[in-house]
Amino acid sequence: MDYSSFIYLKEELSLIAVIVILLLYDIFGSKKSLTYFQPVACLLLVGHILLTCCPAPAVLAIFGDTPAVDQASAGVYPLFSGMYNLYPLGSIVKSILAVGTLLVLLQARGWLESENTVIRRGEFYVITLFTLLGMYFMIAAGNFLLFYIGLELASIPMATLIAFDKFRHKSAEAGAKYILTAVFASGLSLYGISLVYGTTGTLYFADIPAGVTGSPLQIMAFIFFFVGLAFKLSLVPFHQWTPDVYEGAPTPVTAYLSVISKGAAAFVLMAILCKVFGNLIEQWQAILFWVTIATITLANLFALRQQNLKRFFAYSSISQAGYIMLGVISGSALGVTSLIYYVLVYMFSNLAAFGVISIIERRSGKVTIDDYNGLYSTNPRLSVVMMIALFSLAGIPPFAGFFSKFFVFAAAVAEEYYWLVFIALLNTVISLYYYLRVVKAMFINKNETAIAGFRSDAYTRLSLVICCAGILLLGILSVVYGSIHHYSLGW
């Protein structure tokens, strides 16, 4: 056992350190010092993000260490005999997820300070960061066991987050629904993994491809495995839990579920499809083809009729996951670049929207589209933020959402999925309709009793400013896409 390898785990180790510090702080901190809990937690997370963004070789250089690993294999450093993979794209995705988590935590602050939740604020941070840690392990896993541990670490605490408002009936119900379906899906997934082990005799990602011959049992194994991640991504037909859970969960948790959890699952799915099941590419492309079409179309059709904004965004996020699948299905370097870029842009857009929903829900208790009538006259800035977010989600230039859609379409077209892209394009028209419904409500519909104007707290405002900056700049600054592309070339 080479203990020096632990240095390479800087992302996970620093996150664990943050969690431990916060846990101790929450338990032993005096009541007075705990008033600073959230700023301290956010600052710690910022420190963690900085460390994550810092490329591994640079960190290594500080310790005067040369990588004791095989550099030949396209930027992937297998560690701990291949149990853990270190690679630049993974670090990029991890830092994106960490930034998203930070934004969610900023938005959650006001809610956590409310009477019912203030004593459990420490728990919220620790549990959220544990799920993030689970996603890190999923991303970095080089073995199905570690992957499965990551998957569970990212799911089980999530159920407690969803049921965080446990005195609210809907929240508790959503938590129960989530854990039941999640357990079922991961059970199927585990069954698939066991079949993989049965047919190939190994759980290491690096060794499996040699044993994958495409026998029916292996195909079945793959499909069962796929269900676990498809559930997280809420692809049709594994999506039905989504609207109920999104509606019932506290809004910051919904935001977290819809963006961070999904982004991680999408990237991991693509990584495993390409690296582990590369030999089954024909089968999984065929599956994804139909699943993608069903996901985008059905989700859009459901979204058309939603009145509750949180349910509305549940369906919207299902259809967005469908668009992300366009990047996955191509299975190319272009696909993975466009996927990561899509997740990044989607994160800023969706979190901007959820930030607005969250603050409005807290101040007025209102969450339906009709309640937003005339919002522009009372809260012009929030309305504009919401509008920018919706335009970006709908893919209207010059907002970043346009570019991210463009790139996933380009990736799919490069693999000659013309019909798929055509159907996806038709669906963007439908999605434009329902996104514009909200914009129309805010800007055009008249309302005598519009939600009263208010000033949101500094944390929410900071997060919204970051999101808007992301939406406005990401599309224009080509360097972002370019640098992701640079690292994905070894894909």
Residue 52: both structure tokens together: 């994550």
In the list 185, 326, 353, 484, the residue contacting other proteins (rule: CB under 8 A) is 185
Of the pair 147, 238, the CB lying nearest other proteins is at 238
Q: Which CB sits closer to other proteins, 184 or 454?
A: 184
Within residues 200-259, the interface with other proteins by CB under 8 A covers 216, 219-220, 223-224, 227, 231, 237-238, 240-241, 243-244
Contact indicator for 431, 300 with CB cutoff of 8 Å: yes
**Given 4, 33, 66, 478, the residue binding other proteins (CB under 8 A):** 478
Contacting residue, 50, 180, 210, 414, with other proteins by CB under 8 A: 180
Smallest distance, Å, CB 248 to other proteins? 11
Q: Interface with other proteins includes 169 (CB under 8 A)? A: no
What is the Cα 222 distance to its own chain's centre?
Answer: 23
Give yes or no for residue 384 binding other proteins (CB under 8 A). no
| Out of 20, 50, 114, 305, the residue judged to bind other proteins by CB under 8 A | 305
Least Å distance, CB 319 to other proteins, is 13
Q: Which amino acid is at 363?
A: R
- Helical (H) or strand (E) element with 79: strand 77-79
Going by their DSSP bridges, the two strands 77-79 and 84-86 should be labelled as antiparallel
According to the binding rule CB under 8 A, does residue 164 interact with other proteins? no
Sign, Cα dihedral of 407, 411, 414, 420: negative
**Min dist. Cβ of residue 21 to other proteins (A):** 37
Of 416-445, binders to other proteins (CB under 8 A) are 430, 433
CA distances from 82 to 86, 118, 163, 305, 370 (A): 10, 43, 37, 48, 54
3-state secondary structure of 198: helix
The two three-digit tokens of residue 6, written as one number = 């632990």
Interface positions, 78-97, toward other proteins (CB under 8 A): none
Closest CB to other proteins among residues 68, 469: 469
Q: Considering the complex, state which of residue 44 and residue 230 has its C-beta at the smaller distance from other proteins.
A: 230
Contact with other proteins (CB under 8 A): which of 80, 184, 197, 204? 184
- For helices 262-275 and 333-364, give the axis angle rounded to 10 degrees: 160
- 177 belongs to the binding site for other proteins (CB under 8 A): yes
> For other proteins, which is the closer residue by CB, 290 or 418?
290
> Given the complex with other proteins, which of 118 and 220 has the nearer CB atom?
220
287: contact with other proteins by CB under 8 A: yes
* Contact status: 301 vs other proteins (CB under 8 A): yes
DSSP string, 323-385: HHHHHHHH-SHHHHHHHHHHHHHHHHHHHHHHHHHHHHHHHH---BGGGGTTHHHH-HHHHHH
Could you tell me the two tokens for 398? 């010059």
Element (H, E) at 37: helix 37-53
Q: Tokens standing for 253?
A: 């948790």
Give the pair of three-digit tokens for residue 371: 């309640």
333 is a contact residue toward other proteins (CB under 8 A)? no
CA 9 to each of CA 15, 124, 257, 341, 425: distance values in angstroms, whole numbers, following the listed order: 10, 24, 25, 24, 41
Helix and strand numbers, DSSP H then E, in the chain? 21, 2
Q: Does 298 bind other proteins (CB under 8 A)?
A: yes
Among 286, 458, 465, 473, binds other proteins (CB under 8 A): 286
Cβ distance 21 to 44 under 8 Å? Answer: yes
Q: Does 368 bind other proteins (CB under 8 A)?
A: no
Q: Given candidates 117, 194, 283, 377, which one binds other proteins under the rule CB under 8 A?
A: 283
Residue 51 or 176 with smaller CB distance to other proteins? 176
**Footprint on this chain of other proteins (rule: CB under 8 A):** 176-177, 180-181, 184-185, 188, 216, 219-220, 223-224, 227, 231, 237-238, 240-241, 243-244, 283, 286-287, 291, 298, 300-302, 304-305, 430, 433, 478, 482
